[in-house]
Amino acid sequence: MAQTSTSITAKALDVLTVGEPMALFMALEPGGLHTVSDFRRVAAGAELNVATGLARLGLATGYITRLGVDSFGNFLRGVLANEGIDARYALADTAHPTGFMLKTRTDDGSDPQIEYFRKGSAASHMSVADAPQGAFPARHLHLTGITPALSPTTRELAFFLARQARTAGASISFDPNLRPRLWPSPEAMAECMNALAALSDTVLPGLEEGRLLTGRDAAEDIAAFYIERGAKQVVVKLGPEGAYYAEQGGACGVAPGLPVERVIDTVGAGDGFAVGVVSGLLEGLALAQAAARGNAIGARVVQFPGDADGLPTRQELSAG
């Protein structure tokens, strides 16, 4: 059973997102998770990372989720409050637990090992009933492909929110953020992801994600695939090489990546990229400039150990 949460602020929202926040235990020493003794607890979750980044840049950001009435849920409620994320749609679920995850530490820039403990979580029980009632409360909706992968009811919620936002004239961004293990088949995953992308204004796939979802190899062709299906803008993440951007009937090109002296942790870089693109577009930047901001924030994030540690404040972003 879910109970309504209190709101940090009642002001109108710039951005609303939906997803599963999780407690993350990061290893403090290299090695397999079975050998590590010491961990640091932080918050994680792709949509929470994006909400955190946007809130730090001064955008009024709300988050739809469910949290268990447990220690992890209480911890995450504190994170939402500390980051200034509007929690009016973060519900307390008395029947299901909050998810958590474990992550290894790597010192060579490689992707860490992650283990998830989220089956049957509170967030996986979200449904259309958790959507805002009445008029859509934000000028922008940010979605990822993780939310519809959690359960049939969260999938229904993601599509409902997309249609609700479109009806209200709000813009929509979509980051596929693929989790193949949560899907029964690659075909089912691609069908859902591409349908959700077709409802979105701005699509943000990684290059390998785009290849998997579209069957096309080049970034230009991946972008064309989504523009053909109704997206206004596509930005394909190219890793250290930057990002390819294209818009319907408009400009296209590559926003070059920024050099990084040392990569500490790659997790969260794509979420940082989304923060840059979404915030830039909402502030009226051209797509090329928004992609460049995405590259800058993504490059900053990989130089910090936690998923959200490197997400900048407005002052830090301006300082470069």
Give the active site residues.
271
Q: 156 to each of 39, 130, 186, 261, how far by Cα in Å?
A: 36, 11, 19, 43
- Which element (helix H / strand E) includes 79? helix 71-83
253 close to 292: Cβ distance less than 8 angstroms: no
Closest CA to 92 of 127, 131, 128, 65: 65
C-alpha atoms less than 13 angstroms from C-alpha of 170 in its C-beta half-sphere? 24
Alpha-carbon distance of 294 to 274, in angstroms, equals 6
- Which element (helix H / strand E) includes 51? helix 46-56
Torsion, CA 58, CA 175, CA 44, CA 126, rounded to 10: 100
Phi (first) and psi of residue 27, to 5 degrees:
-65, 140
Q: Which residues pair with 236 in a beta bridge?
A: 244
Alpha-carbon distance of 320 to 307, in angstroms, equals 19
Phi (first) and psi of residue 137, to 5 degrees:
-90, 5
137 exposure class (CB count in 10 Å sphere: 0-12, 13-18, 19+): middle
